[in-house]
A and B are shown apart, each in its own frame.
Chain A
């Protein structure tokens, strides 16, 4: 089966064919162009990036700007920047002018981020400039930045015949035609699938066949929220309207796919305490890898200092007498175990909550939230108790092995204190693992910010405070 899959995939690798076509027809760019239009612009963009810089320049200059633009839209951030810089401004402007506005804005944003010259925006056509200006205002997290304007608008007074005529006339130049939006003086009043239009009777009015149950988002809405909404509603596009319900653009399935997979790797990266989840073994250097991790580690180092500071507070009572020193050395024995277990249970409930909040599940109402948290509290108490009992037995067992006495007063009390402290910390850390992301979500902060390492560090601080406070209060008298 694996062999078959491989063969099929090789068959669909058009790179070689494209490369050969370019090599043999390089001199005749119009013929080359007509041959290359048979391929998907994504494949062309992959081949293009492997060409030498001179051929690249020549080709993009020779091709029809529309065609060049369609290839351009499939470049990655770095590729687009390096290629646009290698082109004379006049050609770059021609291409950007033909790109979809949202892709053009992305490109300009990259250039700006890299602190490169974006003055070529002034040389774009007035129409493109206006569209870019409209999108420019939105931050990368807002759905407005991913809006497209290349779709079909109809009015409700049109008949199906008139509508079809319009669709046939402009379909070729329109990026997205599967869903058609119906407006009345720019106001969104309905939508219909092209499918519906195709099978409708010619004399029928659009107003009569369109769907009026509207789904839309506002351009300032968070990308991820809109993506979740679109998934629920299951259509391949969604309307974006302004405050007066005027249709300003649409978001389509391909944007949705990008948003979801970006979010997915972003959430995952955060959970693991990484700055970036997209790792490419081929291009990433050691420096990228350090940059990806060291900032988080430094933050966690500062947070972790909290554990040392708290332990320093207990240091006075722990070193006050020979007995106290003996006790503190005994306490240290179970310290890593307690901290580790607290961190583990916190990580577990954190993962469950983050997936609940970001995985397109129904939103938590007051009632379901109560139920959710009640379940986490119950889980924490129950598994805390079980682990606590196990550790109590472990303490007794250790004492028996090291001293030969199964249960004296001191080891019994040590076991109870350790088990109890563990029960309490496990309960609290399980609750925290759920409450922290939930709280972030309520404050409109992405809950995925709370990473596993972050939770572990917080639970460390709480766990050792509880452990030392209880132990010193109850056990210290026994060692004096």
Chain B
């Protein structure tokens, strides 16, 4: 058998299925079934094969119900409308077929309709698990989230995580230099530091959310055409604007309350709360777009989309949010100081 990419059906199919001839009678088919049943894992479907080509299928239920007409020919009672996959079908698509049709087995055929094997539902569970592992690895910036509790050591764990952390640290040097650049603003208005983590955190979270959506859309083949991508980005932008405004209003109120309690005067708080609310609105809108744009750009460049992990997006959105936050603060609060 050829080597298939492990994301394709060819890698999980097996030869464990029952084959009957179209010219067989029901009685002969039952005999074949009885003779082969011990070796075949699932006998739920009998595949009708003519000269290697899959031409029909009979379920176990149908053949048993047909037991009262032993002379009937298989070709007259079989189902001809087949649902098949090829070895090059993506596992994800095969799972969808099995789910929609409530199948326990799916026949695999080649381009000439010749039967090559079957995939069974239990193999699909492994695929589903593996997919989840990959999704989580991507989203969390770990080389591989799966562990074998007996074999995994501190060093093997560090090896999977530290390289990503070092890359992220390197990007974070940018955040530090931005703040260094705005140091004069910060010494004049120390209270800006108080709300900095909050702004960064929320922007990072929205970025992670839209990244999560894009990764799911990629996995379900919903971003294949230019039109779909445009539609998605447009929707992300509007979502970012609505979320940005909603969170900005909530934050404005919260900042107001917190600063009032800590004894600031009303005239002091107003411009300050405005700056924070405005920065969060802009930061959220941009981070939402960044979360969906970066994975798209990366896949467009044919690079490993795993680079676009949650932590990576968070760090990028940190950089952007800091620029917005301090930029707006120095613009709007300079006169008021």
Contacts and interface: CB of A to CB of B under 8 A. Distances in A.
B189 to A, nearest CB: 10
A334 B318 CA distance: 12
Given A257-B99, A315-B190, A39 B201 contact: no
Contacts of B197: 304, 307-308, 311, 335-336, 339, 460, 464
Interface string A338-377: 0111011101101110111011111010001001100110
Contacts of B243: 290, 293-294, 297
B250 interface: yes
Contacts of A300: 201-202, 205
Contact of A289 (B83, B235, B262): B235
A268 B175 contact: no
B37 interface: yes
Interface string B187-217: 1001111111110111011101101110111
Interface residues of A, number: 127
Tell which of A260, A264, A332 has the most Cβ of chain B within 10 Å.
A332
Contact of A199 (B38, B152, B213): B38
B133 A355 contact: yes
A298 B253 CA distance: 13
Given A328-B193, A375-B152, A375-B157, A7 B201 contact: no
A9 B84 CA distance: 8
B303 interface: no
A352 B226 CA distance: 35
Given A260-B128, A360-B129, A368-B149, 20 more contacts: A4-B111, A40-B83, A195-B40, A234-B122, A236-B104, A258-B99, A269-B216, A273-B208, A335-B197, A336-B196, A345-B161, A350-B140, A354-B136, A355-B146, A356-B147, A359-B129, A379-B154, A379-B157, A390-B166, A457-B201
By secondary structure, the A interface counts as: helix
A199 B35 CA distance: 8
A378 interface: yes
25 contacts: A5-B88, A9-B89, A12-B83, A168-B65, A195-B43, A198-B34, A253-B104, A254-B102, A268-B216, A273-B209, A292-B209, A292-B213, A296-B205, A297-B247, A305-B258, A308-B195, A311-B195, A328-B186, A329-B187, A336-B176, A343-B314, A387-B162, A390-B169, A452-B139, A456-B205
Contact of A271 (B60, B98, B139, B175): B139
Given A312-B194, A344-B168, A398-B180, A1 B88 contact: yes
Contacts of A265: 216
The range of chain B's interface size is 35 or more
Contact of B254 (A285, A293, A301, A362): A301
Most buried by A among B102, B262, B314: B102
Interface in B33-84: 33-34, 37-38, 40, 42-44, 60-61, 64-65, 67-68, 79-84
Nearest to B61: A171
A379 B61 CA distance: 55
Contacts of A358: 132
B201 A277 contact: no
Q: Which 7 A-B pairs have the closest CB atoms?
A: A272-B212, A351-B140, A378-B154, A254-B102, A453-B205, A344-B311, A329-B186
Interface string A209-227: 0000000000000000000
